[in-house]
Amino acid sequence: MITGMIKVKTMDFSDKRVSYAKGVLDEASAPHNPIELLEYWMQEAVEQQVPEPYAISLATCGNDRMPAVRTVLMREITASGIVFYTNYQSAKGDDIAQNPLAEGLFFWHEMQRQIRVRGHVAKISRAKTEAYFQKRPYESQIGAWVSQPQSGEVASRDAMDATFAQLKQQYPPNKSVPTPDFWGGYELTIAEIEFWQGRPNRLHDRLLYRQNMSQNTQSSKLQGTLQDTLQDNLQDNLQGNLQDKGHNNPQQQWTLTRLLP
Ligand SMILES: Cc1cc2nc3c(=O)[nH]c(=O)nc-3n(C[C@H](O)[C@H](O)[C@H](O)COP(=O)(O)O)c2cc1C
């Protein structure tokens, strides 16, 4: 228990400096398709033993217009984005239902790197969710049932432990635990992704990939905001034709820009 042991005082970090000199990121070595770079950097982070490099800070914003951020574990990189699993009836689930646009950030201090991804979020198929849930350890499966609704109030730790014990009786370990219908995966389809590599003198390398506007948008406007692009891609997603369009021809799908640090 730390109550009473620490006195509140101000803290000053203004003299703390770290020189960033662990790597370089340049256009020449950047692939046309940023998902390849995402996978390459993720692989390097795993090799360098960054703890849980697939943990991502996920920011959402619902109708209350108040951004909310929390960590989730990315479980898969797909051809078009990233997948994570959560409770659909959580604060993030409510935000996504109200506004399906989100941004996520990986930060790997050891490598002086961050990756920012932004795009449209949608539930993955039920079959895929169930396959993943059935792979989870038994007690995590039970834990998912306890968190209902996730971020709802609970009277005490004891009350939570009692629910856990009761659910273990209801779903004994020798039988398969059903996948809660309020729980599952989301895929964030990447419309924009920025790779950031720390460099000396604050002159960091920042490469931004933006998904090119869909044919529909190009014919109707010369320039579009990210919001337009995301909305158009959402339309395309709904029409089911996004998958067919870009990945066979990645050179046309992404625009690469260097940003000032
Ligand atoms: C390292 C780490 C990994 C986490 N992974 C997940 C996850 O994969 N899914 C999830 O729902 N919550 C995860 N959480 C908990 C969330 O950060 C958060 O507390 C919870 O999802 C409720 O968020 P919400 O009320 O904003 O929806 C993780 C937390 C940490 C610190």
Q: How far is CA 235 from CA 47, 104, 115, in A?
A: 38, 22, 26
Looking at domain 27-136+181-258, what is its CATH homologous superfamily? Electron Transport, Fmn-binding Protein; Chain A (2.30.110.10)
Question: Beta strands of the chain (E only): which ranges?
Answer: 55-60, 68-77, 81-87, 101-108, 113-123, 183-197, 205-211, 254-258
Q: Where are the domains of the chain?
A: 27-136+181-258
Dig out the tokens for 233 from the structure.
Answer: 């891609």
Supply the pLDDT for residue 217: 46
DSSP string, 191-226: EEEEEEE--GGG--EEEEEEEPPPHHHHHH-S---H
Supply the pLDDT for residue 9: 87
Residue having the nearest C-alpha atom to atom 31 of ligand 1: 71
Q: Tell me how far the alpha carbon of residue 199 lies from the centroid of ligand 1, in angstroms.
A: 31
Q: Are 30 and 207 in contact (CB under 8 A)?
A: yes
Q: Identify whether 113 is a catalytic site residue.
A: no
Residues with CB under 6 A from ligand 1: 52, 55, 68, 70-73, 84-87, 90-92, 150-151
237 has a pLDDT exceeding 70: no
Which of the following is catalytic: 70, 113, 202, 258? 202
Q: Tell me how far the alpha carbon of residue 125 lies from the centroid of ligand 1, in angstroms.
A: 21
Q: Tell me how far the alpha carbon of residue 260 lies from the centroid of ligand 1, in angstroms.
A: 32
| CB burial of residue 132 (10 Å; 0-12, 13-18, 19+) | middle
Residue having the nearest C-alpha atom to atom 3 of ligand 1: 72
Supply the pLDDT for residue 244: 38
Q: Summarize pLDDT for 4-35 with one digit per residue, the tens.
A: 677 888 999 999 988 899 999 999 999 999 99
> pLDDT: is 164 or 222 the higher one?
164
| CB burial of residue 253 (10 Å; 0-12, 13-18, 19+) | middle
Q: Summarize pLDDT for 90-143 with one digit per residue, the tens.
A: 999 999 999 999 999 999 999 999 999 999 999 999 999 999 999 999 999 999
